[in-house]
Amino acid sequence: MELITINLDLPQDSYAIHISHDWQGLESAIRTYLGNKVMLVTDENVKELFVHNVTSIISSMGCETTLAIIQAGENSKSLGTAESLYTQALNAKLDRSSSIIALGGGVVGDLAGFVASTYMRGINFIQIPTTLLAQVDSSVGGKVAVNHPLAKNIIGSFYQPKSVYININTLSTLPDRQFSTGMAELIKYGFIWDKEFLVWLENNIERLMKKEKDALAYAIQRCCTIKAEIVGQDEKEKGLRAILNFGHTVGHGLESITGYSQFTHGEAVALGMIYESLIALHMGLVDQSLVNLLIDLLKAAKLPTKIAGIDVESLIQAMSLDKKNKSGSIVFILPTDYGKVDIFNDVDQKLIYKVFK
């Protein structure tokens, strides 16, 4: 596989997303942005797998590297963990010419990006995503954040990386549950933007689940291209970019009320997409066949399709704190056709209860 490069064009801070199946292109993708000192943020799991590959490349460029290891899991996306990373950055004497690299999944990327965006009011930040979820979604677009116990991603900023380097081979070590969690975001792109990609997914979902490299390369490239198109038109989520949150109003609510411990992010988003599609069905926006297609794809990706044992009042309360909300009403991204969604902030509360009951 040749190195694939996708450009994310912005008025300021444009950058390239590089997709490869090895580490050979990493040096040229990041050299310009490193500075003399680098803090490499990763988690305990990724440390054993890929840190040696990446640090040896950084060292060969004459950079001094500080390794900052966080606990794996959503609970690390906190102000407390961010503070410990600031301390490590200060102890390593990182300055404004230094950089922070995120090597890992969505939690590592969001947290390291948040620290990079706020340390000395912003230093260079590079994404090296190693999970499917991070490769197709969270590493691209510059949303960085930490969680609050009451709401997910509520403390954050828009801060673009200087470069994104995706090595598809890192997915060979990904546990099945984490691979499935990335599939939820991957499937999302077909429903929000690209009917042709949806058809392709129907025909190739089994190849993706077997981690066939050419299928993965195509799907990751397609997702990154779609996200680059959307973010390029609406970097700060003034309108269009909100469609990337299909499934996330319900999903973030589920994560919040279960203490970020019962569902992975992708599992919560999968359930969110189904229940938001059911709201759309009850509103007459789509027919049952679209909901069935979504359920079939999510089942094929080994994702949950029914919410059980959740207190609906608590879930609606959590959704009412979602950062997309306006003027006190819950904002939903609802499907209106195959490959098309729209933004709704006037959904009848009784209908929401009906769908969840």
Q: Which domain holds residue 265?
A: 176-356
> Quick one: tokens of 90?
């200060």
Domain stops at, among 173, 203, 238:
173
Whether pLDDT at 231 is above 80? yes
**Cβ neighbours of 324 (radius 10 Å):** 17
Q: What's the chain's average pLDDT?
A: 95
For residues 100 and 249, membership in a common domain is answered with: no
**Closest Cα partner for 280 from 241, 324, 326, 337?**
337
Domain stops at, among 173, 191, 208:
173
Tell me, what's the pLDDT at 149? 85
Tell me, what's the pLDDT at 346? 86
For residues 32 and 144, membership in a common domain is answered with: yes
Whether pLDDT at 151 is above 90? no
- Per-position b or e across 207-236, b if 16+ CB within 10 A of its CB: ebbeeeeebbbbbbbbbbbbbbebbbeebe
**Cβ neighbours of 304 (radius 10 Å):** 18
For residues 211 and 168, membership in a common domain is answered with: no
Model confidence at 145, pLDDT cuts 50, 70, 90, reads very high
Separation between Cα atoms, residue 223 and residue 186, nearest integer Å? 7
Q: Are the beta carbons of 109 and 129 closer than 8 angstroms?
A: yes
For residues 165 and 264, membership in a common domain is answered with: no
Provide mean pLDDT across the span 29-38. 96
Residue 86's domain is classified under what CATH number?
3.40.50.1970
For residues 58 and 188, membership in a common domain is answered with: no
Domain stops at, among 117, 143, 173:
173
For residues 193 and 139, membership in a common domain is answered with: no
Whether pLDDT at 69 is above 90? yes
Provide mean pLDDT across the span 213-229. 97
For residues 168 and 30, membership in a common domain is answered with: yes
Tens-digit pLDDT profile for residues 280-333: 999 999 999 999 999 999 999 999 999 988 899 999 999 988 777 876 789 999
For residues 100 and 221, membership in a common domain is answered with: no
Task: Look at the chain and report how many structural domains it folds into.
Answer: 2
Tens-digit pLDDT profile for residues 169-185: 999 999 999 999 999 99
Residue 204's domain is classified under what CATH number?
1.20.1090.10
Amino acid at position 327, single letter: S
Tell me, what's the pLDDT at 323? 75
DSSP secondary structure string for all residues of 210-272:
TT-HHHHHHHHHHHHHHHHHHHHH-TT-SSGGGGGGTTHHHHHHHHHHTTTTSS-HHHHHHHH
Q: Are the beta carbons of 209 and 350 closer than 8 angstroms?
A: no
Q: List residues with catalytic annotation.
A: 121, 143, 185, 227, 237, 241, 245, 248, 252, 265
For residues 186 and 47, membership in a common domain is answered with: no
Tell me, what's the pLDDT at 245? 95
Question: At which residue do the structure tokens 């310009």 appear?
Answer: 32
Whether pLDDT at 112 is above 80? yes
Helix (H, G, I), strand (E, B) or coil at 162: coil
- Residue 352: partners with Cβ closer than 8 Å, 6 or more residues away: 279, 316, 330
Its sign, for the CA torsion 79, 150, 310, 138, is negative
Q: Are the beta carbons of 117 and 44 closer than 8 angstroms?
A: no
